[in-house]
Amino acid sequence: MEKGGTRNLKFFFSFLSWILYITSAFALEFSLAGSYNFGSNLFSLYNEREVINDSSSWTFDVGIIHLSDAFEFKASMVAKNDGLFSDPFSESYYAGFYFDFKEGSISLRNGNFSVTLGRTHLGDVVQSPYSLFVSSVGIPRNTVDISYDNGKFIYVTRWIQLCELKFGTDERERLKSSNYKVYALRIGNLRFGYQDITVYVGQRFNFEYFANPIPSFFIQYVNDAGRPYPEGVGETNYISGFFLDYTDIDKYYYAQVLVDDINMNRFIHPESYQNPDKIAWSLGLVQKTSIGTFSFYHAGATKYTFQPSAESGNQMFYGYTYYPYFVYTKDGKNVVLPFELLYAGYKYGENNLAFMVSYAPSFITGFNANFEFVILGERSPVNAWNDRTTYIPGTHLLDDEVKEYRAIGNVSFVRNISNELAVSAYLSTEFIWNASTVVEANSDNVRKPLLRPQKGNNKPLFSANVVISFRKSF
C-alpha cells in the first residue's frame, strides 16, 4: 500500500510538472486559488452537528485554460479537507485532503457551430440562480454538447450522464442519463424557445435522443409504439417547457416554465381521475442603474415535480436527479446529500417557492449583497408519490401542515490586487425554521426516504470564506 501511495504521489507531482511545462510552452492560463472556510456549509443545513462538524476547512484549486476562436481547453481540480466524503488515501497520504473534479473539457468551434465534451457543467439557456431545466449549481458530469447559433436560430442537443454507479444489481438504478434540447429564435434582443429533457435509465448513452433533432416526445412515442416492433430504451421521463428572455446593455428579463406532467383530464375527461400537475416556473430581471445593478428572481414548483412516477419498471428510477439515493454512509454515520447537489434541474426541486433580491453598487467595485427567502414542504426526489403507493388526486403546492422557511443573507467582496492576484471575502447568515429531516418510508413498495419539515427544528447558520486567487497567462 505504501509503495502504491508513493507511486500516486510521484505521478501527481509529475503531472503537475507537465502542466507547468505546457503552460510555459503554449498560450495557456494557469490558475491557483486557496480558500479558508469557517463555520457552516450546505451540508450543515441537512445534517445534525454530530454528523457534519461545523469547523474550518481549506480548499485549493489548480487549473489550466486555453481559449481561442477555434479551440478551448479546461482542466481544473480541487483539493479539500472538509471531511464530507470518504477517501481511502486522504489521511494516509494527503494530510486529510481529498481530490475532486471541477472542470475537464474541450470545445471545438467553427463559426456558428460548437462541440463540447468532457466532464463539465454547461448551464441552462436562461441566466438565473433558479434555472429549471439545468441546475444553476455546477455539478460536473460527463457531457457531450452540440450547439448551433447563427444569430437568428439556436439549436442545442446535450447528453449528460447523470450517474454510473459502481455497485448495484439493477442496471436501471445504476445507469441514468439525460438528453437536453433547445430550439429557439432570436428577434433583435428577444429570444423565445422550446426546451425538453429526456431522462432514461439502464443505458449510458442513447444515440437517437442525442442525434435526432425531432422533439423527444415523438421519439419516445414512435419507438414505444413500434413500427412495427417497439424499439429504444423503453419508458422515459419526458419534461418540456418554454422560455422567453430579453437582453440589452443595461437589462436582462426572462421567464421560464417547465412541465413534468399536466392534467389534461380536467378538460377532456373531467369525470375521470385527476392526476397532479407537475410544473415549475421561474422569472427574473436584472436592471443596471446609475447607482448599481438590482436583481430580482422568483421560482416555484408543485408537489411531485421531478419525481419518478411509479413503483415499478423504468418509472421507478427515472426521476430528474443525479443519483437514485440521497443518503450515504461516512465513518459509520448516515449523511444526507443536500438536495441542491441532487436535483439536475431546478435546484430546490418540488413543492416550494423561492425569492431572491440582490444589489451590486456601482460606487463599490466588487461588492455584492443578496437576500433569499424560501418556503419548502415535504420533498421526495427518489421515491414516487412520497410514502404513498399513488398520488393524492389534484394539484398540490405547500399544503403541508408544517412548512420549512429559510432566510438567507449573503455578502461578498472581490478586490483585484493586480492583474494576476485577487482577494475575495464571503459572509453568509441563515436561519431555518422547521428544518426538514429524513423520514423513512415504510408504507409503500419503494421504501426510500423523504424529507419532511419538523415543527420547532430551528437552525441558525453562519459561514465566512476568504479566497486568494492567482492567474497567470503564458
Residue whose C-alpha cell is 454512509: 329
What are the tens digits of pLDDT across the range 258-283? Answer: 999 988 887 888 878 888 999 999 99
- Say if residues 468 and 423 touch (Cβ distance below 8 Å): yes
Which helix H or strand E contains 176, and what residues bound it?
Answer: strand 175-187
C-alpha distance from residue 452 to each of 244, 386, 412, 445 (Å): 34, 10, 32, 19
Instruction: Band the pLDDT of 17: cuts 50, 70, 90.
Output: low
pLDDT at 23: 47
- Ranking 15-19, 299-303, 326-330, 406-410 by mean pLDDT, the lowest is 15-19
Say which range, 1-5, 365-369, 420-424, has the weakest mean pLDDT.
Answer: 1-5
Looking only at the bridges linking them, the beta strands covering 237-248 and 190-201 are antiparallel
The whole-number average pLDDT for the span 11-32 is 65
- Residue 171, pLDDT > 70, answer yes
378 in helix, strand or coil? coil
pLDDT at 409: 98
The phi, psi pair for 13, rounded to 5°, reads: -70, -30
Pick from 81-85, 404-408, 462-466: least confident: 81-85
Give CA 288 to chain center in angstroms.
27
Question: Which pLDDT band, with edges at 50, 70 and 90, does 328 fall under?
Answer: very high
Q: E strands, 68-174, where?
A: 71-80, 98-110, 113-120, 141-149, 153-164
DSSP lists the bridge partners of residue 107 as 72, 116
Q: Which residue would you say has higher pLDDT here, 53 or 239?
A: 239
Query: Residue 265 is which amino acid?
Result: N
For residue 1, the model assigns a pLDDT of 43
pLDDT score recorded for residue 11:
59
Cα dihedral sign for 262, 266, 269, 274? positive
* Whether pLDDT at 430 is above 60: yes
Q: What is the DSSP letter of 126?
A: S
Q: Residue 210, SS3?
A: helix
For residue 169, what pLDDT is reported? 86
Q: Does 340 have pLDDT greater than 90? A: yes
- Rounded to the nearest integer, the mean pLDDT of the chain is 92
Write down the pLDDT at residue 434. Answer: 98
Question: How far are the Cα atoms of 22, 135, 140, 203, 344 from residue 121, in angstroms, in the given order?
Answer: 25, 9, 5, 21, 11
Q: Alpha carbon of 189 to those of 186, 192, 244, 252: distances in Å?
A: 7, 10, 11, 10
pLDDT at residue 162 in the model: 98
458: confidence class by pLDDT, cuts 50, 70, 90: very high
386-396: pLDDT as tens digits: 999 999 989 99
Contact 409, 354 (CB under 8 A): no
C-alpha dist (Å) from residue 309 to 237, 383, 411: 9, 8, 40
Question: Tell me, what's the pLDDT at 67?
Answer: 87
Q: Could you tell me the CA-to-CA distances from 211 to 145, 152, 155, 180, 459 in Å, in that order?
A: 11, 21, 12, 11, 48
Distance CA 412, CA 229 (A): 58
Residue 81 has pLDDT above 60, yes or no: yes
Residue 450's pLDDT band (boundaries 50, 70, 90)? very high
Mean pLDDT of 213-230: 93
Owner of C-alpha cell 419538523: 454
CB 356 within 8 Å of CB 370: yes
Range of lowest pLDDT (7-16, 309-318, 357-366): 7-16
In CATH, which of 3.30.2030, 1.10.3470, 1.10.238, 2.40.160 is domain 2-473?
A: 2.40.160
Residue 372, pLDDT above cutoff 90: yes
Tell me, yes or no, if the pTM score tops 0.85.
yes
C-alpha cell at 97: 485532503
Q: Span 156-161, mean pLDDT?
A: 98
Residues 6+ apart with CB under 8 A from 1: 92
CB 428, CB 368: distance < 8 Å: no
Phi, psi torsion values for 151, nearest 5 degrees: 95, -20
**Average pLDDT estimate for 89-117:** 92
Q: Assign 16 a pLDDT band (cuts: 50, 70, 90).
A: low
What's the pLDDT at 268?
84
Nearest CA to 200 out of 156, 236, 251 is that of 236
Q: What is the structure's pLDDT at 282?
A: 98
Q: What is the mean pLDDT of residues 430-451?
A: 94
Phi, psi values for residue 93, rounded to 5°: -125, -20
Q: Report which residue type is found at 386.
A: N
CB 404 within 8 Å of CB 433: yes
Chain segment 122-137, per-residue pLDDT in tens: 999 999 999 999 999 9
| Alpha helices, H only, 73-230 | 90-93, 171-174, 207-211, 216-225
